[in-house]
Amino acid sequence: MLNKYAIIEFISNGKFGNVFKGKNRHTGELVAIKMDVLLDNCSVQSQSSNSPLITYKDKSSTVIPRTPTFVPYSGVFAPSNVKYETRILNYLYNKKCKNIPLIYWYGLYKDAPALVMPYYEISVYELYSRNIQNSSKYHHSITHPIMDSNSIMQSVLKIVADIHDSGVVHRDIKPHNFMIKNQEVFLIDFGMATFYVDDKFRHIKEATQPKEHLMGTRKYISFNVHSGKEYSRRDDLISLGYLYLFLQNQLFWDRTFIVDDQDLRPNVSNIYPETHILHPQNQCVKQAKELSTIEKCLTANYTTTAEPIYQYLRYVYALDFSETPNYYLLRKHFA
């Protein structure tokens, strides 16, 4: 990897990997480099330095991990990593899915799997953040006009429909994972994605036992997930509805009073971990995501965009576990 790509700076770390900003040494193109573990024993130097940006030798392999026709659904979510995400991206690329990251390079970097893909300057979340104009990080680099929220919704629905048609659900839909480049929207971070079909493309059966722990980001996980139900296509779409509420500054539970541990009866908050569906904070957000509650809030804060999103949410909330959504109808709400 060092022969072609150089690491410039650390961007972020998460549950399933660490992301760095890099560049192609030959073309100067900026790239994103995702690794399973945080680099240590290395020195990241200034971009203008003439010395190597990373001083140790890497063990390189450009072979993309073998992608089977399908990864059989096991019913148990295995911890994700860069290798797993690369397999998912490679599978979707072979299925002609658009607006997902291309794999520029995959291999071992200091004995850890590393993935090189396009670098996207800004996310939908950053673009719509109210404080973005005051952010020194983007003040001089942003050239993107604020895209119309309906246009964004149509774009993200098309992307999600494509990956669903390929048998995959993303499971971490949020504005942070939709990136914008040249006025085009891309979906990233497939570390929690999985197949909702078996190797014969039959929809998996819904689990009989409820899930006890949440998966994804609390603000954007669907009401069904809060209720302990198995994840399916409907939940990606419900999360997209919450994303639209964010774009309209109508994500009500973002401003909902959530009980603090000190306000609870002694030790109540310690009964369940923060990821448990019965944790008080999760129960509070779940109540705010009740369709009836959303309807009341939209009515109280009525705007010209309230009716389309309510019709959208009413449809996706009513979907059965294995029901195929009508993506065309959903996109028409935002035409």
More confident residue, 73 or 85: 85
The answer to which of 61-65, 74-78, 119-123, 251-255 has the lowest mean pLDDT is 74-78
pLDDT at 74 over 50: no
Q: Do 105 and 29 meet the contact criterion of CB atoms below 8 Å apart?
A: no
Give the three-class secondary structure for 117. Answer: strand
Q: Measuring CA to CA, which residue among 39, 86, 38 is closest to residue 62?
A: 86
Residue keyed to tokens 């953040």: 129
Q: Which residues pair with 18 in a beta bridge?
A: 13, 35
Residue 142's pLDDT is what? 47
Q: Measuring CA to CA, which residue among 165, 189, 194, 167 is closest to residue 178?
A: 189
- d(CA 279, CA 204) in angstroms, rounded, equals 28
Count Cβ atoms within 10 A of the Cβ of residue 233 and give its class: 0-12 exposed, 13-18 middle, 19 or more buried.
Answer: buried
More confident residue, 227 or 36: 227
pLDDT at 42 over 90: no
In this structure, are strands 17-24 and 5-14 parallel, antiparallel, or unpaired?
Answer: antiparallel
**Could you report the per-residue pLDDT of 105-131, keeping only the tens digit for each?**
999 887 788 999 999 989 999 988 854
Residues with catalytic annotation? 172
Q: Do 247 and 149 meet the contact criterion of CB atoms below 8 Å apart?
A: yes
Q: Which residues contact 131 (CB under 8 A, 6 or more apart)?
A: none
Enumerate domains of the chain plus CATH numbers: 5-118 (3.30.200.20), 122-332 (1.10.510.10)
Local structure of residue 147 (DSSP, 8 states): P
Mean pLDDT rounded to a whole number for the chain:
81
